Structure formats: C-alpha cells, structure tokens
Structure 1
C-alpha cells in the first residue's frame, strides 16, 4: 500500500525563504557594521599610538633644554645659552654671522597639511658629563695646571641617533676638554614621495634635526643636513610658552610672537619674562581613510592659543575620510629652577 508523500506548501516555502533572507540580511549587516567599526577603531588606534609615542620622544628631548648651558638657568630671548633659542642673542657671538632661519624657534615656520603653518622649536643643551680632578705639574703654579679632564656619558645620543662625543683632556697633555653644545630643532615637513598617498592629499611628518657647536666655532656642525622622522602623518605642530611673570609669579601661556612682543619693551634683566615650560600640540591623522564612515567624522579641531578651528588643505569631503586627533602635552623645563 502506497503512502501519500507530503511536502511544503507554496505558502510555507515562501515564508521560510523570507525568514532565511531576513536572517542572512541581519547577519550581513552585523558583519559589515563590525568591519566598519574595526576599521574605525584601527584608525583611531593608529592615530593614538603614533601621536603618543612620538610625543613621548619629543618631550623627553625637550626636558634637556638648558642643561649645563651658561644661561644661569634662565630661558629668555636675550641671554646667551638660553635652552630655548629665540634669536642670535641666545648663541655665542662667534656664531652670529653664519646663522640661518633654521637655527631659531619660530612661530608659523613652515607649510603643513592645513591652510596655516606649523611652528618650529629649537633647543640647546650641553650633555651631562663628569670632570675629573685637574692634574697639577706644579700645585703652586697655576700656569702649570693641566686643563680639566672630561669623562663623558657614552650612552647619550642626539635625536638623529648619533652618539654624542667629547674630546677629553689627558693626564699628561696640556689640552682642553671640549664640551659640545647640542642644538636640536623640531619641525613639520612633507613626507618623502614613497610615503605619499594616491588620493592627492599631502602627507606630513614631525622631524628632528640635530647639530652641535663648541667654544669659538663659527658654524653649527650638522644642523640642516640629516633630519630624522619622529612621527608620521602629522598635519600640524604648534607650541605655547609657559611664562613666569617676575612681578607676581603668575604663569601664563603665550605664543612665540606674543612673547617676543612683550619682551621688546623690557630692558631691565630683573623684569625679563622667563620661560619655564612648553605646551606642545600635534594634530595626528590616521594612515588609512575610514571610507563609508566618513559621515560620522564631524570633529572640528581648534589648537591651543587659537580661537578658530583648523581648515585642512585639499578636498573637504576627502579630508573627512581621515580620523584626526589633537594631542597636547605640557613639558616642564626642569633646568630652570622655576626661573627664580
């Protein structure tokens, strides 16, 4: 005896197909949303890692400013040896004739990825060293005293990765120990062609350039020849000066131009406005764009010391496809003793 075969009715089949399509659609939407979210998070992680790592290196270097210099632990635009270099007055006179713009801290120094310009910071310091006791040929005769012998810290490197070397006086030679003064500048410039994208937006980075001079030199050796990249995809770089007022000991932050304008009318050394800290800011950009999520990127960025939001160069809709973050850090200049 044959049994009747039973199957899905047309209505049941249509309902099951509809349910299946809903499940597949929901799963696809969840997958695409997770994929976009991952891209968004990777972009933000890239921005944060790049900016935080680079700023850590930068602030470590900046804390060396004014170390062992003949500035009496003051930083201003009128004293020789000032750890932050504003003008030729901060250098020994032997260097004045050969100085160029790259040798000074400057507001609005160079083009960046915005419609404005980025700043440049230039510092100087003498690396830490130890002085061994001078060797006396005749303790009673100062003319017979050998110059000091210098023992250097061989583990010190400049921001380009070069070992910092000293010329050391010997016990049995009447030679002078030479302590180089390191000069390091931090600035934004366009990345090499190999690191540029294909979308037409220029990529910039934060660079460090190092040089040095010794007593009597007429030039700063190495400055401007071999700058090294500290941070990729930096759209802007700005700094403010933390300035202590000697009249009331109050601290305020000024742009470079504001500071030099105020100092131009101050003639008495006791009234000089001493710089005791720096506030550095970078605008970091993600390496890759976030594509379809560009509509979510409505962030506007205003730099410290400014009242207007940044406007980026290039197509506005394309710029929105990149994540950007403003990262700011205050660096206390430890070699100023509070500018007391």
Structure 2
C-alpha cells in the first residue's frame, strides 16, 4: 500500500501566525479605542459649544430689551420701571425724603424679596426657587441677574367699536408666555430674572449636581400703584443645561474711571454711577463623558470673567467632561443718551 504524505503547518509556524494575528488585532483594537475617544471628545466639544453659544445668545437678545420704553436713559439702582433691578421696597433708599427703588414702592411682600432681585457672590441667599447661589465650583456662589422693561405693545381693537375686548400684545417673555393683556389690565412691565438651579431632567451618571441656567418672568401694571408682581418667584424655564457657574459684571464709568464690578461691589458704593453694559460668563459642561484620560484634570482652573474657579471634584465618578467658558458683553442700547453722571 502506498503511503499518503500529510502536509500542514509546523508548530513553530502556527505560533508565528498566532503572534502576528494578535499584533494585528491589538493594533485594530487600539485604533478603534482611539477613534472612539476622539469621537466622544469631538461630540462633547461640539454639543458644548452649540448649547453654550446658542443658549447665551438667547439671553443676550432679552437683556438688550432692558430699560426699553422708559423715560430715563440712565440705568442705576433707582431707575423705576426699567433697567436692572437692584432694589425694591425691601431694600429701598431715601432720596430727598422720598423712598426710591427700581420696583415701585407700592409693591410689597414676597414678590419683591431681595433674593428675587439682582444678586452676586457675597450677598445673602434665599431658599429655592429664590436665588440660592448654587454652583458647582469651589468656594464661589453663582450670580443672579434681574431686569425689567416695557415691551413695544400693539393695541388690537378686534375690529369692533367695543373697547372692552381690546387687547395689548407685547410678544412673549423668556418663559415663552404670550404677553397679552386686556385694556382693563393695561400695559405691563415685564420682570425677568436669570439664575442657576438644579436640573431634575438629567442622567444618573452626571457629575456633581446637574445645574441649568433658567429664566423666571413676571409682570406688574405700568400705570397706577401696583401692589404685586404676578408670576415672579417660581422655578422658571431652563434656557441652558449643564452650567457649572454663572457670573455677571456691570460696566460703570465715573469720570474717566471705567471698570467692571459685580452686584455686591456696585451696591456697596456710596454713589452708584449709571450702568452702560452687562458682562455675562458661564462655565458650561459637555452633555456626555469624554473618557477617563488625563487630558482633563480635576484641578483645572477656569477664568470666568474676573474669577478663577475650579470645579468641585465629584465623588465616585471618574469620568471626565469637557468644559468651556463662554462670555458675552452686552451694550445696554436703551441706556445711552445724555449722560448726567
């Protein structure tokens, strides 16, 4: 009988082939992991930039309405019916024997509590949904900005001779509520406050306390002696998610001295000059983790306008997130005109 010769790989050849295969698989795995990390980083940075820029631009559009349709072009802590709201009947000041504030003195009670007005780091905080100074950075409180303005109303006569069904239309406020008031109610002054608050619509894996920049709006009658602000003092509507810190500064000029100050500094001045512009700064975070690499340090310092801040290190969460500081300087166009001070 003839013997059949068997042909195959030797043990050494199999070992070499297996080693080469493992090298190729390892290289492919490294390429895949690197691509995944790069994609996560790019998506995180993209969502971060889109959310922060678009969200802040939405606020900028509203803040430019500050002091709209008021007689006095000067914005300070005594500008009534317009401007930035620093004072109410709760913290009014006496000028020439008359109590003065931004909100009419006739309005008293919880709707004009100081913690619903413009606030900054270092001032007394309230309880939620009032301003609490909540922030995700170490040893700093976030700020709150409250503005007021009179919309450009249009009176709709409903094509009837009956004035009882006439309606004032003034667009919508920052919560998306249509500004529609009857002739009896009259035109209303709109009050809007911007502040950080916890965001309950979030993932369980997110670091720290998920915070969002929200806007709360209310209104009171322009004519007569109003006694309350309707709608102000609730949780408001979220404008920008995943914000770790919110800072506000004001451009003031006294003679040739021009500088930016926060609310606490401005209110402590013996003479409060007019405000010409507002600076906003937010420390925003990406919506997803960008991995656990060392390129994002827990001790990284961010410059938010005049503050150097470090994010509070989360407990039990090693995932890293991209963060970015976004700032805007807003000229208060309704505050320009003859400068009396």
2:144 to 113, 120, 126: 120
Q: Distance in 2 between matches of 1:303 and 1:190?
A: 20
CA contact (8 A) 1:197 1:203 kept: no
Q: Distance in 2 between matches of 1:196 and 1:12?
A: 52
Q: Which residue of 2 aligns with 1:164?
A: 179
What TM-score, normalized to structure 1?
Answer: 0.80
What SS does the aligned partner of 1:208 have?
strand
Q: Which residue of 2 aligns with 1:100?
A: 113
What SS does the aligned partner of 2:310 have?
coil
Q: Which residue of 2 aligns with 1:188?
A: 196
Distance 1:296 1:338, change over 3 A: farther
CA contact (8 A) 2:168 2:186 kept: no
What SS does the aligned partner of 1:15 have?
helix
Question: How many angstroms does 1:8 deviate by?
Answer: 3.9
CA contact (8 A) 2:278 2:331 kept: yes
Distance 1:301 1:64, change over 3 A: same
Q: Which residue of 2 aligns with 1:257?
A: 264
What SS does the aligned partner of 1:252 have?
strand
State the number of aligned residues.
Answer: 303
Question: How many angstroms does 1:273 deviate by?
Answer: 1.4
Deviation digits for residues 226-255 of structure 1, max 9, x if unmatched? 51111111111111101122x22x532111
User: Is residue 201 from structure 1 mapped to residue 208 from structure 2 by the alignment?
Assistant: yes
Q: Which residue of 1 aligns with 2:98?
A: none
Q: CA RMSD in A?
A: 2.8
Unpaired segments of 5 or more residues in structure 1? 133-146, 169-175, 267-271
CA contact (8 A) 1:255 1:305 kept: no
Q: Which residue of 1 aligns with 2:85?
A: 85
1:1-340 paired onto structure 2 within 5 Å: 7-70=8-71, 72-88=72-88, 89-96=101-108, 99-108=112-121, 109=131, 110-115=133-138, 116-129=140-153, 152-153=168-169, 156-168=171-183, 178-192=186-200, 194-195=201-202, 197-198=204-205, 201-214=208-221, 215=223, 216-225=225-234, 227-245=236-254, 247-248=255-256, 251-262=258-269, 265-266=270-271, 273-293=273-293, 295-298=294-297, 299-306=300-307, 308-312=308-312, 314-315=314-315, 318=317, 321-337=320-336, 340=339
What TM-score, normalized to structure 2?
Answer: 0.80
Distance 1:339 1:324, change over 3 A: farther
Q: Distance in 2 between matches of 1:151 and 1:213?
A: 16
CA contact (8 A) 2:207 2:317 kept: no
What SS does the aligned partner of 2:292 have?
helix
Bigger Cα displacement from structure 2, 1-10 vs 283-292? 1-10
Deviation digits for residues 33-58 of structure 1, max 9, x if unmatched? 10111111222222222211210111
The structure with the largest strand share of the pair is: 2
Distance 1:4 1:60, change over 3 A: same
Distance 1:22 1:226, change over 3 A: closer
What SS does the aligned partner of 1:329 have?
strand
Distance 1:314 1:20, change over 3 A: closer
Q: Distance in 2 between matches of 1:255 and 1:38?
A: 39
CA contact (8 A) 1:196 1:202 kept: no
Bigger Cα displacement from structure 2, 156-165 vs 279-288? 279-288
What SS does the aligned partner of 2:180 have?
coil
